[in-house]
Every structure is written in C-alpha cells, then in structure tokens.
Structure 1
Amino acid sequence: MTTTRPFRTHPFTRACAMASLSLTGAMATPVLAQDTQGEVDELREQVQELQRRIDNAVSEAPQPDRDNPYLVRDGDGIKIGRTTISFDGFIKADAIFGSNGDGTKNTYSVGIPRNFAAAASSGESDWKTGFTARESRLAIGSKTDEVAGHTLRTYLEMDFNQDADAPGNEVVSNSYAPRLRQAYGSWNGWTAGQTYTTFTNLAALPDILNQGYMAAFIYTTQPQLRYTMAAPGGKFMAALENPEDGFGTTSYDDQSYPDLTARYQLRNRYGIYSVSGVLRNMEHDNPAGEDDEKLGGAVSLSARIPTIGRDDLRLQYSYGHLGRYMGLFTYPDVDLGEQAAGEVDPLTTYGATAAYRHFWSPTWRSSLVLSQTEIVEDLAFSPSGALGDFDKVASIHANLIWQAHENFQVGLEYAHWDFRAIANDSNSQYEQVMASAKYSF
C-alpha cells in the first residue's frame, strides 16, 4: 500500500517564487504590476524580515574558540574545556627463568634481594620458569591552564605487580587487583600526593628490563609534600615524606615526625648531576620499657653523563642510614638486636651503582650494570634468619634490547646476584634470565 503525503513548500521558497512571478508579471504587463504592487511590497517585506531573523540567529550562535575549544586533540591528549586529559602506559610481558629454585614466587617479576638470597641458599640447582604481565601499567594525567594564574597538573598511575602472596592465582584466571604506584597533583612548584622520593634521581636509573631492581639503587615511591624551585644551573627540591621503618613485612609505624628530603639537580650539556639528602627520626615504642629514638640521615650522589654518540654513563653512590630507601628494603632501618633490647641504633650501609648504555645502532642497545651494597658496621644481633643470612649484596645485569618503534621493544637480560653470609663469610649465587616484550601507548 502506498501512502501519499501532501507536498508543502517552505515559506521562504514560496515567498521567493511568488515574488519572482510577481516581478515577471510586472515587467510583462504594466497594468497588472500597478494592481499587484501592494502585494509585491508586502511579500518583499516578509522576505526581508525572514532574512533578518536568519542573520540574527547566525550571529548569536556560539562560535568555536581556537584557544579554548570544547573538545579537541591537544598534543597527546584530549582537551575538554580548559583541561587536557591524557592516557598512557604499557603492556609488558615477561618470561623469567631463575636458578636455585624460583626467586620470583607467584610470577612476581619485580623480585627483591631477600627472595633471591633465599633461593640462592636453598641448595637447589634446578631452574624454575614463570610468565607474567603484572608489571603492565595504566596512567591518567591532566593539565588545566590558568588555575589561579598557574597550570595545574595531576597524575594517577597503577600496575598489578603486588606481593607474591597477594590475592590471585596462576591455576585458572591469573587475575590480580590493581596497585597504586603514583597519585599526585602539582601547582606553582608544589607537589602533593604519592610519587618517587625526592631522595632519588631517576635520570641515573639504569636501563634494564627489570627496571630499578639492582642491588643498591635508591628507588622508592611514597606520599609527600614537595616544593620545587629554580636554582643556578638546575633546580632545588625539598619535601616532607611519609616516615616508615621496619623490616620485611614488619612495620613499626610509630614515627612522630616526617622524613625530610632535599635534592639539588644540575643539568647542562655535560650531563645531569644531583646531590640529595634525607633526615629520619627512628623510633621504637617499647611496651615493656622506655621508648627510644635516634636521628638518622643519609646522602646520595648521582650522575648521568653523555659519552660517545648516544651512549651514556650512569652513576649513583649513597651512604648513611639508608634502610628501606635502598635496594627494595634489603636491610632493616635499625639494628634488630639493639631493637629487641629496647634501643634504637640506625643501621649504616652504603650502595654504589654504575651503568653504561651503548647503542649498537639507532634501534639496538645494551646496558651493563654493576651494583653493590653492604652493611658497614658490626651487628649486635645473631644473623640467623634476620637478614636472609647476608650482609653484602652485589648484582650484575647485561641486556640486549631492540627498539623496533618508540611504542614497541623486546629484549633479553641476564642477571647474576652474589650474597655474602654474615656468620661465616661464605657466598651464594642466584642467576636469572628475563625475556620481555613491551607495548607502550
């Protein structure tokens, strides 16, 4: 069945047609023009009024603002109003092969020296295999212009690389909950939230697949309030950061004052250099006796020095009461024997790292990393089990990485760890081979 709809002309079209016919008739027959002149004038006024309404509607409509559009592409982000939102991160797939038993339990690819030491002293000689994608990261950033005269930035970053005993399993789902890495905002030189400690210099971080996890590097994220200001040749930063002490999974959590950190960074064509320090108030609330506390501190020097072509040398040396700030909490913050007696005695350690990165070609590169840390004082407690039976740790990393594209790299890395036992000065070793593919976005 066919439905017929009546044809209705647009008022503007009808007016134009009638005006046209009228004008044509006026030219052809002067008498008719004289009779219809009033009707033509009326139609002309209607057309003019309609045109005025169209012009007013166009002039009053919102116009796109090139400096502040509602939704446009802005660099690597999307601008909504005055705020640019950006997303980035990477998918990282790792295959880990560890000697002397599996030092990366539950495919915990990060690993820590204490786990490696336990594997090295296990007496096993077979290699274990683990696969993981838990180091994959997702980050959301924002930039808002002209917030009280300054740019406001925020950053939120997470991964899934939790402890070996975190909820999740490798039997069926391999599902793991997200983990907060960084969450901070910055405005007019002030940064508040959780990010890397001011005590470290990430520019000197070696380029390895298991990033940041060599024996002695300063590599910690924690909540803080930081101020950054320009300084001759670079910048100066000072911060109040979350205080913490303990060892392993034990947190004493009885600090009265925040950690005070500061760093001066110099940057020029000769490289990036920094000197940093930390002051820490070590406390122990002893239920059976008097409380005790001591002021501790440490310093760290680091550099990233360009050499030949794109090659560079990265160095870091740290000394003092480093505790949890160095080597993923390799050593406790205080002498555990003294602590058991109700005394606080900050443990003095040192750490040194040297890394050379060489480019074989624009897309192929390698890094050789040497790192060592050691307790530099006699301990009052029995070493049995307290430190995994070691007081000196050395690591070597060597890799080959193919950067096929800025968003895609694959690599192979070998790591060797050496642990010196406290009691008998013997050594045990742990080895690891890691293959990795990283897809950035």
Structure 2
Amino acid sequence: MRKTSLILLASATLPMAVQAANTEFSYGGYIKMDAMISNYSEGEIASTSSGRDFYVPSATPTGNTGNDSSAFDMGAQTSRINFKTVTTLNSGEKVTTFVEMDFLTGSGNEVVSNSNSPRLRHAFFKHGNYTFGQTWSTFMNTGALLETVDFLGVSDGTVFNRQAQIRYTNGGLQLALENPATTVNGVGNTDDSALPDMIARYNFKAGNADLSVAGIARNLAYKDEANNIDESIMRFGMNVSGKLMVGKDDLKFSITKGHVARYVGLAMSSDATLTNKGDLVGNNVTAAFIGFRHHWNDSVRSTIGYSMINADNHADAGTAVNKSSKSMRANVMWSPAEKMTYGVELSKATLEKESGVDGDMTRAQFTAKYAF
C-alpha cells in the first residue's frame, strides 16, 4: 500500500483533515483481467449470472438435454480498490479503518460500455481487541485459500462469507457475533433469526502447519404470518482448516460439517427445509477441499486442487434442489515482476440434483493481474 499523511492532503480536502495530522492514510488494490472459454454439457449459463464471471457451483446447468454449448467471456470486474487509515489517539491507542470495493455487480451493456457498479466488500474498524463492521466471517480461514486463476476456485468446499460482526481477538482466540440469515428450500433467504450467529475460533501453529478450528451456533428461523408459521431451531457446525509447509511448497485444506449451508459452496444448498407439515428442518452439509502448490522456480508455480460439497436435504425439499457438487483444477502462475501475475487454469466441475440429473462444466481461463 502507498501511504500519505493526511496533513499533506489538507489543501484538497475538508478543513477537518487538518485536525487529523496523526492519521496515516493508505490505499491499495489490483487490476485483474480474466478471459475464459467454458463448455457446458447441459446448456449455457445465462449471461447475467455470476457464474459467467467466476465458478459458482449452483450455476452449472443440469438436465438430460445433451445440449452441449460453449461461451467465451472477458472482463475486469474483479478488480478492486481499498482505503485504510491508522489513527493514534491521545491515549496512544491506535484505531484502524478499512474500506474495500470491487465491481462484481450491475453488469452494463457489453455492446458499448461494459459498466459495473461498485460493490462493498469490507467496511470495518479495529480498536484494541475488537473489530466492528463488515469483513470476512470469523468462521472463514482466509489463510487456507488456494492460489487460483478463478476468483475463488475451490468454491464447492470453501467457507466463504463476508458480513457485519462484532469480533473479539486475543492471540489465537477469536469470538464473534455476526449477522444472521437463513436460506430455506423453496422459500429463499429469510431474515427472521432472533439471535446473531455465534462463532468461536482458535488459530495455532503445530510444527510446519498453521491450523484453525472453528465452531458456530445458529438460530435458523422462518416466519409466515399469513399461513401461521413461526419456526425457529438452533443448529451447529464446525470447520477445521490450515496450511502445511513442505519446503517452499504448501498443502492447504478445509473440512466443514454441520448446518452451515449458506457459509459453504457459495450457498449451493439451503440451510433448512420447510416440511409439508410446516416444520423447519435443518439440512446437514459436508464440504471440503485440498490443494497443493509447487514452486518451479522463484517466479513460476502451480496449484492443483479438488473441492466438494454434499447436502443432506430433507425429503420434502423435492428433487429439483442441489444435492452435491465437485470440481478439480490445475494452473500455472508466472510473476515476471513484483506484484504482477499471469496465470492459466483448467477446471472441470459437476453439479447433481436430488433427482439424479447432473451437468458438467469445463473451463479454460487466463488472467493478468497487477497489484498496487
């Protein structure tokens, strides 16, 4: 990040900047261009779907049509920019703020402008041991993510979530209260939970490994006054993840189990099912990924990875809901200069419905990225 004292910006900003001479301002981000050609065994993904920009397990077309199709896409929507401040208070304590956005929403007309609206990713501040605002869920271990050409890559088995929270950190221990939501088969997302999602996580080292163990307690809820439905259940989940160094190379993994459907697989399955009797029943999921990165030399490396998720849906969910997804990928990344990366990646994914119908996607992707 590049850093500039706010006092140097005073002439171009509001007078209040003069009062913030003890605040350090920095910015960062990257420009990333992606180009990909995708082949779908059961019809094409809609051009408005996020699955055309990066791998979304639930977006893979399924069926028995045999309607094989291909599509080429190119864009720079994953580019991002962030701003950070560090202020020293009169007491000597420091307050850190961070705001970041990218452009992965609001696709414009590809005929002319290719416009994309800014999207809030992070907005939080830290004071002492506490974090307030929106950032990565405490249930998620970003240190275990693989290096992929795709925006996320091993999406099926990855805990991936950003949301508002209050987090307490003390060494390797993290405790958090986070914004709740319940996804229900046949209903969609609900905001009826009476309690925040409660998360406890512990990060620790063991030899050459950096490990993380996390547990979550959730209040799954659904209300429908018109049909006299007011259901609420407590459910739980856990995650074990980490990175093992093998010389200069690394092995990364994650295993997630429990009633945490919206936290994994980019919400491929739903947290709960509303039964025919009007009861809310949690759907248990099992998700995992593993990947190995090898450094061929100082500037070239490769990652291979496998990812999966399986949902144990209630029978009343029907046969059209997603049952499982899996994907494999391999890439080569080249950094000819600091903060500059070119990469190519080949991936294959399969989505299966409860009915047994499925569909495959094969994708070849190129990226060019420069961080600043």
**Which TM-score applies when normalising by structure 2?**
0.89
Task: Select the residue among 338, 346, 350 that pairs with 1:406.
Answer: 338
Task: Select the residue among 114, 134, 154 that pairs with 1:174.
Answer: 114
Q: How does 1:177-326 map to 2 (within 5 A)?
A: 177-214=117-154, 215-230=156-171, 235-246=172-183, 250-267=188-205, 270-287=208-225, 288-308=227-247, 310-326=248-264
Find the counterpart in structure 1 of residue 368 from structure 2. Answer: 437
Find the counterpart in structure 2 of residue 137 from structure 1. Answer: 80
Secondary structure of the residue aligned to 2:344 is strand
Cα deviation digits, residues 169-227 of structure 1 (max 9, x gap): 21211111100000000010110000000001111011111132421100100010101
Find the counterpart in structure 1 of residue 66 from structure 2. Answer: 123
**Code of the aligned partner of 2:113:** S
Cα deviation digits, residues 16-56 of structure 1 (max 9, x gap): xxxxxxxxxxxxxxxxxxxxxxxxxxxxxxxxxxxxxxxxx
Following superposition, the deviation at residue 269 of structure 1 comes to 5.1
**Code of the aligned partner of 1:363:** S
Q: Which consecutive unaligned segments of at least 5 residues does structure 2 have? A: 10-17
Cα deviation digits, residues 363-406 of structure 1 (max 9, x gap): 0011001111102355323213xx2xx41111101100101122
Find the counterpart in structure 2 of residue 114 from structure 1. Answer: 58
Cα deviation digits, residues 64-113 of structure 1 (max 9, x gap): xxxx99549xxxxxx96211111100011001211124437348413411
Contact 1:213/1:327, CA 8 A, preserved across alignment: no
Q: Which consecutive unaligned segments of at least 5 residues does structure 1 have? A: 1-67, 73-78
Find the counterpart in structure 2 of residue 391 from structure 1. Answer: 323
**Code of the aligned partner of 1:416:** K
Contact 2:281/2:314, CA 8 A, preserved across alignment: no
1:363 aligns with 2:299: yes
Following superposition, the deviation at residue 115 of structure 1 comes to 1.0
Question: Which protein has the bigger helix share?
Answer: 1
Cα deviation digits, residues 91-149 of structure 1 (max 9, x gap): 11001211124437348413411112x26766321311011100000100111123533
Task: Select the residue among 265, 271, 291 that pairs with 1:333.
Answer: 271
Structure number, greater radius of gyration: 1
RMSD, aligned α-carbons: 2.3
Cα deviation digits, residues 247-291 of structure 1 (max 9, x gap): 599321111111101110003652210100111001111221241
**Code of the aligned partner of 1:355:** G
Contact 2:58/2:351, CA 8 A, preserved across alignment: no
Contact 1:191/1:226, CA 8 A, preserved across alignment: yes
Q: Distance in 2 between matches of 1:167 and 1:430?
A: 23
Q: Distance in 2 between matches of 1:104 and 1:193?
A: 33
Cα deviation digits, residues 269-316 of structure 1 (max 9, x gap): 5221010011100111122124111001100000100013x1000011
Contact 1:244/1:253, CA 8 A, preserved across alignment: yes
**Code of the aligned partner of 1:434:** Q
Find the counterpart in structure 2 of residue 155 from structure 1. Answer: 98
Secondary structure of the residue aligned to 1:169 is coil
Following superposition, the deviation at residue 422 of structure 1 comes to 1.8
Q: 1:119 to 1:427 in 2, by over 3 A?
A: closer
**Code of the aligned partner of 1:229:** N
**Code of the aligned partner of 1:196:** W
**Code of the aligned partner of 2:91:** A
Secondary structure of the residue aligned to 1:380 is helix
Q: Distance in 2 between matches of 1:138 and 1:69?
A: 19
Following superposition, the deviation at residue 429 of structure 1 comes to 1.3
Secondary structure of the residue aligned to 1:391 is strand
Question: Which protein has the bigger strand share?
Answer: 2
Contact 2:313/2:323, CA 8 A, preserved across alignment: no
